[in-house]
């Protein structure tokens, strides 16, 4: 019981941050991670003692988050819209153009491969450093750099096409 409590205290918030990039709702991410820990506790006798528990938890959170992600896509677009909406100008024409651009940004982010999108959101929306992202996702800093470069390149490509229309 004590080891489980220590595991929970050590990994709960990193797992919540990880889940947030799939469901984009901190409360839902917390619920999701709690559900995973409850499932692990309930089925602790069935766990393979040779398996890395941290890897198992991240995989379980990711899999559960994939199932929930469809329900939260609209909320993500809403959140992104509000993050960038501070720059909307006063004129109705400018507001319409800005709103359309923000929607294009949200759509472009959604088209990113999951790994790119997760890393991009962790860096740009959660203000995590590459090293912190690497630790949370259990990947190298170089992988984070590569995925961020890929995400930025893809977003630039998508948004350049959008900007050519205006």
pTM of the model: 0.47
131 and 166 in a single domain? The answer is: yes
User: What is the 3-state composition of the chain as percent helix, strand, coil, each rounded to the nearest 5?
Assistant: 85, 0, 15
Cα separations in angstroms, 16 against 11, 75, 152: 8, 17, 25
Predicted confidence at residue 75, as pLDDT, reads 58
CATH number at residue 57: 1.10.1740
Model pLDDT, residue 162: 67
Which pLDDT score, from 0 to 100, does residue 132 have? 86
pLDDT of residue 85: 58
**Structural domains in the chain (count):** 2
By residue range, what is the domain housing residue 159? 92-166
Instruction: Check residue 55 and give its pLDDT.
Output: 85
Are 17 and 75 in a shared domain?
yes
* Same domain, residue pair 124 and 108: yes
Please tell me the predicted confidence (pLDDT) of residue 142. 96
Distance from C-alpha of 83 to C-alpha of 137, rounded to nearest angstrom: 24
Count other Cβ atoms within 10 Å, centred on residue 82.
Answer: 10
Residue 97's pLDDT is 73
Boundary of a domain, candidates 56, 87, 118: 87
pLDDT of residue 79: 64
**Coil, strand or helix at 48:** coil
Alpha-carbon Rg for the chain in angstroms:
18
Per-block mean pLDDT, blocks of 10 residues, the chain (166 long): 86 91 85 92 82 86 78 59 56 74 84 91 84 89 95 88 61
Q: What is the pLDDT of residue 86?
A: 53
List the CATH number of the domain containing 152: 1.10.10.10
Q: Locate tokens 């450093």: which residue?
A: 129
């Amino acid at each position: 019981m004590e080891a489980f409590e220590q595991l929970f205290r050590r990994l709960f918030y990193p797992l919540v941050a990880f889940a947030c990039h799939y469901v984009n709702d901190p409360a839902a991410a917390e619920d999701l991670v709690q559900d995973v820990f409850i499932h692990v506790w309930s089925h602790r006798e069935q766990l393979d003692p040779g398996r890395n528990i941290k890897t198992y938890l991240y995989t379980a959170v990711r899999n559960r988050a994939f199932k929930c992600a469809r329900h939260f896509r609209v909320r993500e677009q809403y959140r992104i819209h509000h993050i960038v909406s501070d720059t909307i100008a006063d004129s109705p024409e400018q507001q319409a153009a800005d709103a359309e651009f923000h929607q294009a940004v949200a759509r472009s982010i959604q088209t990113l491969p999951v790994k790119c999108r997760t890393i991009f959101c962790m860096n740009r929306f959660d203000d995590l450093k590459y090293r912190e992202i690497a630790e949370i996702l259990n990947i190298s800093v170089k992988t984070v750099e590569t995925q961020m470069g890929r995400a930025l390149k893809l977003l630039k490509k998508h948004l350049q096409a959008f900007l050519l229309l205006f």
